[in-house]
Chain A
Amino acid sequence: AQSVAQPEDQVNVAEGNPLTVKCTYSVSGNPYLFWYVQYPNRGLQFLLKYITGDNLVKGSYGFEAEFNKSQTSFHLKKPSALVSDSALYFCAVRDIDRTGGFKTIFGAGTRLFVKA
């Protein structure tokens, strides 16, 4: 079965500094990987996805993620953090089964705090 792991419960970074939120995956076959963000009192929002192609994927709000097959990682990055980036971030993988894969498996989440 497909799974993702987010090894950090919380990441603290100062505004203006680069940020990284880590994710590792375990899949059989080619991975379909996603990042979602959850702001307080709001639903989850899609940030970006990796299906195939370039290992560096660009997404919403200046975020990007790097797919690394040898390390089975899909870390979320941003060159310069904003206070407004403070939120809960979820890595996710699409479970590709015989029906075509309609179940998205989410990690436990990483809380990002950006300090002014």
Chain B
Amino acid sequence: DTGVSQDPRHKITKRGQNVTFRCDPISEHNRLYWYRQTLGQGPEFLTYFQNEAQLEKSRLLSDRFSAERPKGSFSTLEIQRTEQGDSAMYLCASSLGTTYPNNEKLFFGSGTQLSVL
């Protein structure tokens, strides 16, 4: 087990293009989260999965953002028609998913740095 991995590490794209990021959580983890972090700020919650079910999506997330976790393992985050304001570090995290309420720690990947030109 090598922890949470994200691909790519960096992505540069032109405004208006679509981009897709991948996250592979720790293998036995049922819960998967996406966060966005800009310089000088803490991570901002985007969305959350319990196995393959997307249970919560931030109201701050526009319809251009979509996430999937089709088999309850890896997840993808797609941004359509990118805008310069989408430039940020996109972080993925996972947790075991065995406690209710959820008091588990999160394991983070190193993130995907998106730059929209």
Of residues 9 through 49 on chain B, the ones whose CB sits less than 8 Å from some CB of chain A are 31, 33, 35, 40-45, 48
Contacts of B114 in A (CB 8 A): none
Q: Given A102-B31, A109-B41, answer yes or no on A46-B48 (Cβ-Cβ < 8 Å).
A: no
Q: How large is the interface on A (under 10, 10 to 19, 20 to 34, 35 or more residues)?
A: 20 to 34
Q: Given A103-B56, A108-B40, answer yes or no on A41-B103 (Cβ-Cβ < 8 Å).
A: no
Contacts of B42 in A (CB 8 A): 90, 92, 106-109
Pick the residue among B55, B91, B103, B111 that contacts A32 (CB under 8 A). Answer: B103
**In the complex, A103 Cα to B60 Cα: how many Å?**
14
- Shortest beta-carbon distance from A43 to chain B in Å: 4
Contacts of A36 in B (CB 8 A): 106, 108
Question: Is A101's CB under 8 angstroms from B91's CB?
Answer: no
- Shortest beta-carbon distance from A36 to chain B in Å: 8
Question: Is B48's CB under 8 angstroms from A102's CB?
Answer: yes
Contacts of B48 in A (CB 8 A): 102-103
Q: Which residue of A lies closest to B47 (CB)?
A: A103
A28 interface contact, C-beta 8 A: no
Contacts of B4 in A (CB 8 A): 43
- Shortest beta-carbon distance from B117 to chain A in Å: 22
Given contact pairs A44-B43, A44-B93, enumerate 9 new A-B contacts (beta carbons under 8 Å).
A32-B103, A41-B110, A49-B103, A51-B103, A100-B101, A101-B102, A102-B102, A104-B45, A109-B42
